[in-house]
Structure formats: C-alpha cells, structure tokens
Amino acid sequence: MIILLFIILIGVAVWSVVIYNRLVRLGNLIRESWSNVDTELKRRYDLIPNLEEIVKGYARHEKDVMENLARARSQAVRSTGSPESQALDENALISALRTVFAVAENYPELKASKHFLELQNELANTEDRIQAARRFYNGNVREYNILTETFPSRIVASFSGARQREYFKIDRGISGINPEIGF
C-alpha cells in the first residue's frame, strides 16, 4: 500500500514537472513570437515616412490625410502596452494607410509613380508578414491558454502563477490594396 502511494506521488510529481516545463516553453514561444510581430510592425513604421513624402509631393492639398497618418504612426510606435491596446493603435494606423491609398486613386501620376508602386508593394508584403507573425503568436497564445484552462494542468498553472495571455487582433491590414497594373 505504501509502495503504491509512493508510486502515485512520484507520478504526480513527474506530471507536474512536465506541465510546468510545457508552460515555460510556451511562455518563451509567446515572447519570441511577439518579438516577431513587433519586428514586422517596426518595419511598417519605417516605411511610412517614405510613403508620406511621396504622397506629399503629388497631393499637396491633402494635408489632413497626411497629418492623420503621421499621428496614427506616432501613436502606434509609442504603443507598448498589452496586445489589445496595441491592436487599437494598429487598427487606427491601418485605417489611416487605407485613406492615403484611397486619396492616391485621385492622382493618376502618383498611382503611376515607380517609387509609389514599389513602396505600396513593400507595404503590402510587410502586411502579409505581420499577419503571418500575428497568426503564429496567436497560435502560441491559444495553446498556452488551453493548457492554463484545462483540467488537470490548470492546477499546475495556478500554482505557478500562469495567467491567460491576450490575443493580438488587428484588421486584415492593407495587403488587399495592391497596385493595379494595366497594359
């Protein structure tokens, strides 16, 4: 009877260590995947001033649009809170970028500019990379949250202080705004 109790205790201890190590591994994956999201967001932030300069050269009287874009970019760059709060700032930036591309439709010479088209393509590629990094991050968060919510791993999670993580939910982005190329 004592041997059986000892075996059960050893089994529970091993199981607890395995669950704890899995929580640690997933926590590290979440931090790494958030770093990937952050890197891609910074890439977008670095491209926006170039877009602003090109559009300003063609659409001088669209001052409000460019000021809104600059303000949204500045707010997004400063945003370092939770994924939910950063998502709000990212959505504002995406909206401002969409407005810039909508305004560009009114300027045929801007739409035909090689630099504008290259920058638009680069931003669309960056948006795709942001979405891929976001999906990877959210997948890791999902796995972590499932582990912290399900029984019996929830017991180990509560003792280790593991808490639910937030998803990073942003709009689809601007990748759907690709240049139209006609022949």
Pairwise CA distance, residues 103 & 106, whole Å: 6
pLDDT of residue 178: 46
First-last CA distance in the chain: 85
Structure confidence at residue 33 (pLDDT)? 95
182: pLDDT strictly greater than 70: no
Global pTM value: 0.81
Compute, in degrees rounded to 10, the torsion defined by CA atoms 149, 150, 156, 159: 30
Q: 161: helix, coil or strand?
A: coil
Any idea what DSSP says for residue 179? P
Q: What is the pLDDT of residue 149?
A: 94
Q: Is 74 helix (H, G, I), strand (E, B) or coil?
A: helix
Mean pLDDT of the chain: 88
Residue 174 is predicted with a pLDDT of: 58
Q: What is the mean pLDDT of residues 108-115?
A: 82
Residue 171: pLDDT band by 50, 70, 90 thresholds? Answer: confident
pLDDT higher at 181 or 105? 105
pLDDT (mean) for 11-23: 95
Task: Report pLDDT for 101.
Answer: 87
Contacts of residue 23, Cβ cutoff 8 Å, sequence gap at least 6: 144, 147, 148, 153, 156, 157, 160, 162
Residue 8 burial (C-beta neighbours within 10 Å; 0-12, 13-18, 19+): exposed
**CA 168: distance to chain centroid?**
6
Q: Is the dihedral of CA 105, 108, 111, 116 positive or negative?
A: negative
Lowest mean pLDDT among 34-48, 52-66, 111-125: 52-66
**pLDDT band with cut points at 50, 70 and 90 for residue 173:** low
In angstroms, the CA 39 to CA 134 distance is: 11
In the chain, what percentage of residues exceed pLDDT 70? Answer: 93
| CATH superfamily of the domain spanning 2-160 | LemA-like domain (1.20.1440.20)
Q: Are 55 and 66 in contact (CB under 8 A)?
A: yes
pLDDT at 86 over 50: yes
> What average pLDDT does the segment 108-137 reach?
89
